[in-house]
A and B are shown apart, each in its own frame.
Chain A
């Protein structure tokens, strides 16, 4: 990575268009994921596209949880679940019915329903996502 010449004062932090272009080229060539350059009142922030997706995904994972089928069988919701409906970890969302069993599907976290991913009476495999819940912070 090309080292930048240290700045002496705020007046020297005057990037021309060509400076910015050069900086972007150097950043891309470096293989770095992000650059956060600050000097006094100026900040320049660059991120590699894949890193943006990673950050976005990580953030989404922290805030939403999928409720997955606990067995193979047909899904039956306990009621209609509109997006925004509050649930707790113990809330019974529905059942997965197999030939000789009825397994409960519970929210397992506090939050609000973001989406019911499959319609009622869908035949599910083990592990198929059924609900997405936006998790509320504790």
Chain B
């Protein structure tokens, strides 16, 4: 076992605040690497020490492996926590940490590589007996794509092999649109991920996104901490997450949990991870989507359901300690809903809205949690993602949680920048959301609904 004393946080924003707090609660010192734009940020103020690692653009700071590892080493850190996004699923960072003797708080590089490549992950899933979406890996030509699409059946989804986070995906409805779609998918894959390899999957029409949280230690112990339903998305980016997944048949949920554990066990997974599935509501079948080898944005849903501090568990696993929890000790209690609040103008096609927060007032209460890095006077920079805060509420059941979320959104006020609070409030008024009759394309269809648009525009005025 390795005792940790000082942790380097290679991230920013609310997750940096989250990790710093967990570290301090565990009696660990923290050093955060910040860009010039984040020198005065809340994480920089909270950390034991902050060090500027580069200019504002992400590629020169938060995406610079050399800068992160050098800063960790130079400030005497014995471990590095990558947060989510940026370098969190970059196997080269894990490797670089290992080379200099800094413990990477996450899986081994080879695990990140094998699960991070979507084609490789699909193969691992199939080998572990986990159902995968009917598809074809490594489609190298249009002719190949056409043959595969005809076998699978239209509509199909073209996906970047090195992609993730919902990016680099194209839906193709019919054969006459495939050529264009294939060319676009490859071009986008190359531009976004530096690799134009694409693969094809069946496009599931009425899909729910269900994911299972897992933890694994260095001793081969693997447990799951239940599932989250992240069906409400816009352009494949999650907007609302909740748990447990009560609108999916219990038998399917149990199968997904088992499948998740089998998959990560097959690669001797270490750390916190999430196995994502698509649940086909038409066919009552689920398919493996991908594995995220990091802490997720929506991890608070699981924390509030189970009472387990996932970041603390990550740190414990990194020391080499065995998991303190056994599977039969994991209980999901109540219903939890999380909303992501972004600095975006929802009524204006979610245009990003950086700028100064003039007023910031968050809801409070026993069953309310707000994870944020914002405060009155904070200037939301232009360079990074638009997440301002995560609002998490706990209820006795889904109906109670929905009501509490609506109330909490009404009392959450932000002035100075556009934000998605009103959009979320309007979303929670919808009967589809209240009844749970949702799918991954619901939000996009609502944004074409004139009544919903009117509601959003009314709020803007």
Contacts and interface: CB of A to CB of B under 8 A. Distances in A.
A71 B52 contact: no
Interface in A103-133: 123, 125-128
B74 interface: yes
Contacts of B325: none
B73 A71 contact: no
Interface string B375-408: 0000000000000000000000000000000000
Interface string B75-99: 1000000000000000000001000
A72 B36 contact: no
A106 B209 CA distance: 53
Given A99-B96, A99-B100, A72 B70 contact: yes
A99 B101 CA distance: 12
Contact of B67 (A74, A98, A123): A98
A94 interface: no
Contacts of A74: 74
- Give chain B's interface secondary structure class: helix
B368 interface: no
Interface residues of B, number: 18
B447 interface: no
B335 to A, nearest CB: 45
Contacts of A127: 36, 52
A126 B55 contact: yes
Given A72-B51, A72-B52, A125-B52, A98 B36 contact: no
A100 interface: yes
A125 B53 contact: yes
Interface string A69-94: 00111100000000000000000000
Contacts of A33: none
Contacts of B67: 71-72, 98, 126
Interface of B: 33, 36, 51-55, 61, 66-67, 69-71, 73-75, 96, 100
Interface of A: 71-74, 98-101, 123, 125-128
What are the 9 closest A-B residue pairs judged by CB atoms, nearest first?
A98-B70, A123-B74, A125-B52, A125-B51, A126-B52, A99-B70, A100-B66, A72-B71, A72-B53
Given A72-B67, A99-B96, 12 more contacts: A72-B54, A72-B71, A73-B70, A99-B70, A99-B73, A99-B100, A123-B74, A125-B71, A126-B36, A126-B53, A126-B54, A127-B36
